[in-house]
Amino acid sequence: MPTMGALHQGHLDLVKKCVAQADCTVVSIFVNPTQFNNQEDFKKYPSSVKEDLDLLESAGVDYVFLPEVDTMYPSSPVLKLNFGHLETILEGAFRPGHFNGVGVIVSKLFHIIRPDFAFFGQKDLQQVAIIQTLVRDLSFPIEIIVVPTRREEDGLAMSSRNRRLSDLERKTALIIFNSLSVAAKELKEGKEWLVVQEQIIRQFQEQESVKLEYFELVEREAFEIKKQFDPHQKMAICAAAYVGEIRLIDNLIINS
């Protein structure tokens, strides 16, 4: 199970699934520099290694892989991975090169640890699609298991970056989940997606401390942006926004 540390209950949900399903549970903690577009974000990424190790031991993890940057990258990687249309939409559009960094580091971890199963959170839905593409196209003998998003009581998706939010920003960040919930409800009631989307965008524009990057309807199997809701397809709404200086992402699956 690859992580960047600063663990929360969402990570522990993945661990619980792994412990229940596998004979041996391995968790990696590595803040991967090659997947950060913003070096300031990389420098400020929260770290709590001692607390993380205590949590993982209590959760029944057998091994923790905690490499240094020089171990994972003894020289600057020249390999470039391209994930097709996934590079041009949502996270791919707003974070160019991000998925190359994800693909390279996950490939390295898969080669080093050689798992039978790998567990990823639904909150990073596009990343899940990237990993599934990686496993399929490079013939990794690994089953990818997706675990539902763990949320705070008020609905905010758990994220290591939440630690960097002020109390006011923490309250403001609820607009993301609340907007996803409203949009999903209105789609199920028969409203047109483009009408719903425009309504949500206007609500974000009224919030000075929040900057919406995207709020899109996605068909999950091909992971393509759609302009119309189809109740017979596997769909989700995906969103990304800056709350103050902190970038948060979330999604809500509409029909499974």
Q: Is 256 annotated as a binding residue?
A: no
The number of angstroms, rounded, from the C-alpha of 105 to the middle of its chain's C-alpha atoms is 15
The number of angstroms, rounded, from the C-alpha of 129 to the middle of its chain's C-alpha atoms is 10
Q: Is 44 annotated as a binding residue?
A: no
Q: Which of 11, 85, 111, 232 is catalytic?
A: 11
Q: Is 124 annotated as a binding residue?
A: yes
Q: Is 159 annotated as a binding residue?
A: yes
- The closest of 65, 51, 146 to 110, measured between CA atoms, is 65
Identify whether 98 is a catalytic site residue: no
> How far apart are the C-alpha atoms of 82 and 31, rounded to whole Å?
21
Contact call for residues 25 and 51 (beta carbons, < 8 A): no
Q: Is 185 annotated as a binding residue?
A: no
**Phi, psi torsion values for 159, nearest 5 degrees:** -155, 145
Q: Is 122 annotated as a binding residue?
A: yes
Q: Is 7 annotated as a binding residue?
A: yes
**Phi, psi torsion values for 119, nearest 5 degrees:** -115, 130
Q: Is 127 annotated as a binding residue?
A: yes
Q: Which helix (H) or strand (E) holds 41?
A: helix 39-44
Q: Is 239 annotated as a binding residue?
A: no
**Phi, psi torsion values for 96, nearest 5 degrees:** -55, 135
Specify binding-site residues: 4-11, 35, 121-124, 127, 158-161
Q: Residues annotated in the binding site for (R)-pantoate, as ranges?
A: 35, 127
Binding site, annotated residues for beta-alanine = 35
* Active site positions, annotated: 11
Task: Pick out the residues of the known binding site for ATP.
Answer: 4-11, 121-124, 158-161
